[in-house]
Amino acid sequence: MNEPIYILYVDSDPLSATQTVQHFNPPKFMSAQLSQLSDKPARKNAKEPKHKFVFIHCPTYRKALQILLSRNGDPHPLAKKKAKPPIYTIFFEVNRKIKTSTEKYNWLNFLQDIHQLGIHRLDLNNGFLAFGYQASDAFMEQLMFYGVRKFLKKPFSMEDLNTVLDSYVNTNRGSSTFYIDERKEESEPGKLVTRRSARYSDLNGKLGSVDLPYIEEERDGNTTFIWLRNIEEEEAETDEVGFGESVQDEVIQENQSEVLEAEITSTE
């Protein structure tokens, strides 16, 4: 069973908020206020969704900011002990022009305060989703500047929203296939090279590959030297190329006393 993905949902329209919350949320996540507005029976025998979304509805941006901080940014030990699941992303309305809005604290103030509180501190690195009637280039540029990844233009269906959410989560979480492929080869006597590649499924379902720095092991008597070689070194065909020079990560000395004795003898 998939763990629910919690979305902070800002919508001042109680009817559209009810429709969205009822469509996605299990009954136990329906607020008392929205449950009273709902006149539809709970869905039965519904197909198991790919992702389970729970919308935490807020009618105002100010209330949304308070809930966001209480779930994702309250450092008090009691808050952490009684913590509710964190917010994964925010889905908010921007269908009113700021200059004509009757609410003094608007969506732009909301986004600005989130960034001032700290995107990393609030663990909101996945970007946001917005909806409304406005969709001019200048308007979209402003939304993108503050981290909005997708804008849904009204009207949209619940199926449209579900498709956007699935695509959004899949993009953020990446490929379900990921592993490091390692191939060992002896480049010359006493020297072992481990070629490494990150393997993953691309958007077409094919197995993609990205080369990683390779590991080089060289044995000199009782001492084994291990290097992590940068990709840039191999392309430049030299061991010393500026900041890309070799890094000796670890030296394994099987007989350290003999090595030290040999070094002392050579300096006398």
Using one digit for the tens of pLDDT, what is the confidence trace for 187-204? 788 788 998 999 998 877
157 lies in the same domain as 190: no
Which neighbouring-strand residues pair with 92? 10, 130
Tokens of 33: 């206020």
Domain that holds residue 90: 5-173
Q: Is the dihedral of CA 203, 204, 205, 206 positive or negative?
A: negative
Q: Is the pLDDT of residue 268 over 90?
A: no
- Phi and psi at 245, nearest 5°, equal -70, 165
What pLDDT does 147 receive? 94
H-type alpha helices, 125-222: 137-145, 158-173
Claim to verify: residue 32 and residue 105 sit in the same structural domain: yes
166 and 38: one domain?
A: yes
Whether residue 242 sits in one domain with residue 133: no
pLDDT, tens digit (0-9, with 9 covering 90-100), for 54-101 = 999 999 999 999 999 999 988 888 877 777 899 999 999 996 565 555
Write down the pTM of the prediction. Answer: 0.69
Whether 56 and 123 map to the same domain: the answer is yes
What average pLDDT does the chain have? 79
Among residues 145, 173, 201, the one where a domain terminates is: 173
Residue with tokens 């009691």: 78
48 and 164 belong to one structural domain: yes
Per-residue pLDDT band at 231 (split at 50, 70, 90): low
Report the pLDDT value the prediction gives residue 68, as an integer from 0 to 100: 95
Structure tokens at 99: 């200059």
Residues 183 and 167 in one domain: no
- Mean pLDDT computed over 215-242: 70
For 136, the token pair is 């001019």
pLDDT surpasses 50 at 4:
yes
pLDDT of 228 reads: 85
User: Of 157, 173, 189, which closes a domain?
Assistant: 173
Share above pLDDT 90 across residues of the chain, in percent, rounded to a whole number = 41
Same domain? 20 vs 119: yes
| Model pLDDT, residue 120 | 93
Which CATH number fits the domain that encloses residue 129? 3.40.50.2300
**Domain stops at, among 173, 203, 233:** 173
261 shares a domain with 194: yes
Tens of pLDDT, residue by residue over 116-166, are 999 999 999 999 999 998 778 888 898 999 999 999 999 999 999 999 999
Total structural domains within the chain:
2
Q: Rounded CA gap, 8 and 89, in Å?
A: 6
Give the integer Cα–Cα distance in Å for 58 and 126. Answer: 20
User: 202 and 167, same structural domain?
Assistant: no
Q: Which amino acid is at 168?
A: Y
